[in-house]
Amino acid sequence: MKNTFGTSVCITVFGESHGPAIGVVIDGLSPGIDVDIELINKQLKKRRPSGKTDTPRVENDNYEILSGIFNGKTTGTPIAIVIPNENTKSKDYNYGVARPSHADYTAYMKYHGYEDYRGGGHFSGRVTAGLVAGGAIAISALKKLGINIGTHILSCGDAKDIPFNNIEKEISLLEEKSFPVINDESEEKITKAILKARESNDSIGGKIETAITGMPAGVGEPWFDSVESILSHALFSIGGIKGIEFGIGSDFASLLGSEANDSFKYENGEIVTTTNNNGGINGGITNGMPIIFKCTVKPTPSISKEQDTVNFIAEENTKLEIKGRHDPAIIRRICVVVDSVCALALCDILAQRYGTDVFLKGIK
């Protein structure tokens, strides 16, 4: 029963939605990394609910760093971050009634009824707050190496944002936005789509797009530890992610090889590709171009419409209309989670390639 990811840089998440606290332990990061408290606070604020498009459950996220940091820098020993839960309403949850598309039934089958079911327990999106706090430290470490990550909402229902184009500039733009879209006009359209779903007691999904710049060529493995494999492994651990496409993804299906291939050329003494259909990865290994991928985000499964389900304790069919406080869409709040998980996964990939002190000594 494993809740840990990584080989050189390892991340363990712990806690339950309605338990005393949630948190993360990060082991394997180099000593001497600057810990930017303001960035941790900024990232947690991006994940925090902030309006009608989000859940009414708002937590203060008053985290405490218990170990691994001294005088503002990492020590090289495990970093433990704890975030108390302060705003819970456990009475909203009825044990034994399986909420459709939630983990209630599967958790019962795995943990034999000993699981904490309140608010989804360990399966709740609440647990991602720890990943965001820890991910902020990883983001700082990557920035020192010239590696930057940005994620925006590409579509939500029929409402769309523009795709990445001027990537470096757009990542910088997204770093300062609480509503992660590239085109300012897209915020209003996407907000309307979310509120429309909410008004009908429903929820809505969409797609997000992530860009990673500054990754050196030659990182990754050709088979089971390809860059796509490791990122997908980490990202599919986020409950709302149901699909990942690297580069142009499924659009490859309609192209000829002559249209799909990324031609190489020298530019200012560097090898680049004229297009980036493969999303910066060839043979599982980075080629130095921006890593680009899209994730499909499912509609929040908690909706206030009556649904058919079962009571797996009473062993009978039943009806369910979910109560409680839920997001009509998680697509805004999930973007910072994806950035954080990517940063942690990239730290692991880089440490395996260049050694565990890579963030102290640099890439050599």
Reported as a single tens digit per residue, the pLDDT across 272-287 is: 999 999 999 999 999 9
Query: Sorting pLDDT into bands at 50, 70 and 90, what band is 88?
Result: low
- Cα torsion 241, 242, 247, 251: sign: negative
- How many Cβ atoms are within 10 Å of 138's Cβ, its own excluded? 27
Locate 29 and state its tokens. 């990061």
For the chain, the maximum distance between any two Cα atoms, rounded to a whole number of angstroms, is: 70
Q: pTM of the entire structure?
A: 0.95
Average pLDDT over residues 153-171: 97
Query: Sorting pLDDT into bands at 50, 70 and 90, what band is 110?
Result: very high
What pLDDT is stored for residue 87 in this prediction? 67
What pLDDT is stored for residue 338 in this prediction? 98
Could you tell me what percent of the chain has a pLDDT over 90?
82
Q: 3-class DSSP state for residue 342?
A: helix
Going along the chain from its start, the domains and CATH numbers come out as 4-361 (3.60.150.10)
Residues 6+ apart with CB under 8 A from 310: 97, 98, 105, 316, 317, 318
* C-alpha to C-alpha distances, 13 to 44, 110, 154, nearest whole angstrom: 16, 18, 28
Locate 90 and state its tokens. 């456990």
Q: 3-class DSSP state for residue 14?
A: strand
Q: Is the pLDDT of residue 219 over 90?
A: yes
Contact at 8 Å (CB) between 339 and 295?
no
Distance CA 21, CA 296 (A): 29
Q: Is the pLDDT of residue 92 over 70?
A: no
Strand partners of residue 266: 271
What pLDDT is stored for residue 191 in this prediction? 95
Average pLDDT over residues 23-30: 97
Q: Is the pLDDT of residue 64 over 70?
A: yes
CA angle at residue 62 from 59 to 68, to 5 degrees?
Answer: 135
Q: What is the mean pLDDT of the chain?
A: 93
What pLDDT is stored for residue 32 in this prediction? 95
**How far from the centroid of its chain's Cα atoms is residue 216's Cα?**
22
